[in-house]
């Protein structure tokens, strides 16, 4: 499926998806294609045939607790779209798969086995003129039974505190301006924290450094060089974070899935939590 020799076969190419569009449009739940964006406006304009559109903000997180979905809520969401725990799910989305990678991570948290990312995401699909439609598919409802949760890939506040104390690598994937505390959020996006800066000891390895200009992931060798040059190696635990947990999912995917690092967690509370905590240590500057 993948076009490179990564540690795990977790990427599919646009050609691979195009060759299976008929399967993705079938009522048979064996294959399902999901486009995940911060909203569904882009999906409404054009999407891959058979793709189910999911809104990351309103459908893939708890609206009261600002947390990932409870198991039963995920089961209900996926089942309502004709997905079972045995379906082969391919995810893609905007911003070089920010929210698709977050969804991938959430599905792995709940133990879904056959899940993949479309390398390059929505922009790659459109830029290379693969088929699109405005038709929204409707599939027969299925029963979805999630496993887990598997907390081994998720970091909580106390895990970050322990990481600071023990000198465990923290990978901050935000922009240099966010990392330094100059700004609180990417331009045009909502500011979700009271304070700017970064978690003490964190290395700033931007998510964009993991992908090529066309949004596809860099080679295994390039990714390994990127992280090892920032002292992020596979002989220790690693914690990735960003502002709301979506960009750090890209880093988690690159480290855990593509490079095969064994002990990588995504701190999905990220700066929205840490930057609002009373008394939490914060560093500013580069």
Q: What is the pLDDT of residue 4?
A: 62
pLDDT in tens, the chain (286 residues): 545 689 999 999 999 999 999 999 999 999 999 999 988 899 999 999 999 999 998 888 877 777 899 999 999 999 999 999 999 999 999 999 999 999 999 999 999 999 999 999 999 999 999 999 999 999 999 999 999 999 999 999 999 999 999 999 999 999 999 999 999 999 888 888 999 999 999 999 999 999 999 999 999 999 999 999 999 999 999 999 999 999 999 999 999 999 999 999 999 999 999 999 999 999 998 7
What pLDDT sits at residue 189? Answer: 84
Confirm whether pTM is higher than 0.75. yes
Best CA proximity match to 176, nearest among 207, 134, 201, 149: 207
Confirm whether 11-149 and 152-274 share one CATH topology: yes
Per CATH, is 11-149 categorized as 3.40.250.10? yes
260 phi-psi bin (left φ>0, alpha ψ -120 to 50, beta other) = left
pLDDT of residue 1: 53
* pLDDT at residue 60 in the model: 85
Q: Where are the domains of the chain?
A: 11-149, 152-274
Q: In the CATH hierarchy, which fold is given to the domain comprising 152-274?
A: Oxidized Rhodanese; domain 1 (3.40.250)
Q: What is the pLDDT of residue 67?
A: 86
- Which residues are known to be catalytic? 242
């Amino acid at each position: 499926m993948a076009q490179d020799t990564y540690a795990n076969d977790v990427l599919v190419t646009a050609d691979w998806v195009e060759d299976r569009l008929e399967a993705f449009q079938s009522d048979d739940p064996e294959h399902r294609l999901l486009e995940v964006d911060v909203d569904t406006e882009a999906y409404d304009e054009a999407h891959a045939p058979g793709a189910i559109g999911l809104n990351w903000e309103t459908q893939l997180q708890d609206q009261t607790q600002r947390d990932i979905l409870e198991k039963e809520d995920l089961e209900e969401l996926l089942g309502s779209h004709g997905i079972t725990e045995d379906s082969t799910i391919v995810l893609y989305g905007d911003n070089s798969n920010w929210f698709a990678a977050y969804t991938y991570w959430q599905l792995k948290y709940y133990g879904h086995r056959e899940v993949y990312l479309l390398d390059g995401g929505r922009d790659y699909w459109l830029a290379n003129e693969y088929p699109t439609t405005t038709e929204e598919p409707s599939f027969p409802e299925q029963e979805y039974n999630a496993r887990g949760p598997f907390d081994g890939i998720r970091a909580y506040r106390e895990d970050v505190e322990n990481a600071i104390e023990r000198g465990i690598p923290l990978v901050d994937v935000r922009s240099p301006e966010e990392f330094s505390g100059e700004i609180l959020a990417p331009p045009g996006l909502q500011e979700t924290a009271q304070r700017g800066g970064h978690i003490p000891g964190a290395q700033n390895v931007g998510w964009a450094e993991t992908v090529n200009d066309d949004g596809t992931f860099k080679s295994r060798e390039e990714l390994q060089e990127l992280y090892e040059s920032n002292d992020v190696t596979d002989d220790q635990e690693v914690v990735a974070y960003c502002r709301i947990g979506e960009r750090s999912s890209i880093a988690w995917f690159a480290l855990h899935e593509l490079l095969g690092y064994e002990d990588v967690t995504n701190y999905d509370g990220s700066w929205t939590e840490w930057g609002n905590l009373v008394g939490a240590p914060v560093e500013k500057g580069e």
